[in-house]
Amino acid sequence: MRLLFLLLLLAACSPPEAIGDDDDATEEEPTPADSEHLFSFAVLADPHITGEGDHADRLRRAIDWIALEEDARAIELVLVLGDIGWGGGLELSKVLLDELPMPYLPVLGDNPIQVGDEEDWDRVFGPHLESLSQEMEGWARGPVAGWTPVQEADAWFQNAAFDYGGLRFVSLDFNTRHQGGLLSELADLHDFEGGTMPFLEEQLATLAPGWDENVVMASHHPMHIPAFTADELAQLTGEIAPHSHRVFGDFAGHYHGDGHEVIDEGGYEVFVTDATWDDEVTVRVVEVWGDGQAVSFVQDLVIVD
Per residue in 186-238, pLDDT tens?
A: 999 999 999 999 999 999 999 999 999 999 999 999 999 999 999 999 999 99
Band of pLDDT at residue 132, cut at 50, 70 and 90: very high
The beta strand positions in 9-132, using DSSP E, are: 36-44, 75-81, 104-107
User: How far apart, in whole angstroms, are the C-alpha atoms of residue 107 and residue 105?
Assistant: 6
pLDDT tier at 23, thresholds 50, 70, 90: low
Query: Dihedral of the CA atoms 149, 204, 275, 97 (nearest 10)?
Result: -90
Which of 81 and 25 is assigned the larger pLDDT? 81
pLDDT at 268 over 90: yes
User: What is the distance between the alpha carbons of residues 91 and 123, in angstroms, rounded to a whole number?
Assistant: 10
The CA-atom distances, in angstroms, between 91 and each of 88, 104, 206 are 7, 16, 35
Cα Rg of the chain (Å, integer): 18
What average pLDDT does this structure show over 243-247?
98
* Percent above pLDDT 70 for the chain: 89
**Mean pLDDT along residues 247-254:** 98
Spell out the domains of the chain, with CATH numbers in brackets: 2-304 (3.60.21.10)
Identify the pLDDT of residue 5.
39
